[in-house]
């Protein structure tokens, strides 16, 4: 009896296995680099967004919006060079009696100071809210094109973290309620 030699083609050669492992290693390495880079970028952005300056600016923008929207067109805000004063009605959270307030935005040097005070009669009381934003490069207040209807605020903040110098602009525009 003679045996015929047949080639068994049902397996994987050692060379094919080595090539597949090499390709998988390269792909895994590329994915790991991409994930590490994305994590670093996310961490940097998170630190910028949750810095003290960013959180204070968010609070000031909320006050600006609340004050200007609550002011009536008969009580036009006072805008001077680096100063904005807005008289408005404060509505307490959870109900309660509304009361008259003044929001005062003052830009001097590299600082923006914002205070909210109650007005009793015609006397402005000590502030019940106050924020100071340091590292302000520029702050402008102006009336929009239709006088007495909208107020604009433009802030440029230096938000340097570590050795990365970063500035960001905050633009807010709010319309006065027409009562």
Q: Is residue 10 part of a domain?
A: no
pLDDT of residue 147: 56
Average pLDDT rounded to a whole number, residues 9-27:
90
| Banded pLDDT at 37 (limits 50, 70, 90) | very high
Share of the chain above pLDDT 70, in %: 82
Average pLDDT rounded to a whole number, residues 87-93:
82
Average pLDDT rounded to a whole number, residues 96-105:
87
Is the predicted pLDDT of residue 168 greater than 80, yes or no? no
Q: What SS3 class is residue 149? A: coil
Range of the structural domain that residue 83 is part of: 52-175
Q: Is residue 28 part of a domain?
A: no
Q: How many domains does the chain have?
A: 1
Q: Is residue 15 part of a domain?
A: no
Q: Is residue 153 part of a domain?
A: yes
Q: Is residue 103 part of a domain?
A: yes
Is the predicted pLDDT of residue 26 greater than 90, yes or no? yes
Paired with 155 in beta bridges are: 139, 170
Paired with 153 in beta bridges are: 141, 172
Distance of CA 39 to the CA centre of its chain: 20
Average pLDDT rounded to a whole number, residues 39-59:
77
Is the predicted pLDDT of residue 28 greater than 90, yes or no? yes
Is the pTM higher than 0.85? The answer reads: no
Q: Is residue 23 part of a domain?
A: no
Q: What is d(CA 89, CA 95) in angstroms, rounded to the nearest whole number?
A: 13
Q: Is residue 21 part of a domain?
A: no
The single residue listed with the structure tokens 């050692």 is: 14
Q: What is d(CA 70, CA 176) in angstroms, rounded to the nearest whole number?
A: 7
Q: Is residue 162 part of a domain?
A: yes
């Amino acid at each position: 009896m003679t045996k015929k030699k047949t080639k068994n083609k049902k397996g994987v050669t050692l060379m094919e296995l080595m090539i597949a492992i090499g390709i998988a290693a390269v792909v895994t390495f590329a994915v790991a680099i991409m994930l590490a880079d994305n994590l670093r970028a996310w961490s940097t952005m998170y630190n910028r967004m949750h810095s003290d300056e960013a959180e204070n600016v968010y609070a000031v923008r909320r006050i600006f919006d609340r004050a200007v929207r609550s002011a009536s067109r008969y009580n036009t805000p006072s805008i001077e060079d680096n100063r904005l004063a807005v008289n408005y009605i404060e509505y307490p959270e959870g109900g309660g009696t509304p009361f008259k307030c003044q929001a005062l935005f003052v830009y001097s040097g590299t600082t923006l100071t914002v205070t909210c005070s109650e007005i009793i009669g015609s006397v402005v009381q000590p502030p019940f809210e106050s924020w100071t934003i340091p590292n302000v490069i520029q702050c402008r207040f102006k009336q929009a094109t239709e006088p007495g209807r909208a107020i604009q605020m433009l802030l440029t903040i230096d938000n340097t973290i570590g050795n990365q110098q970063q500035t960001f602009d905050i633009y807010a525009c709010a319309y006065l309620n027409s009562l």
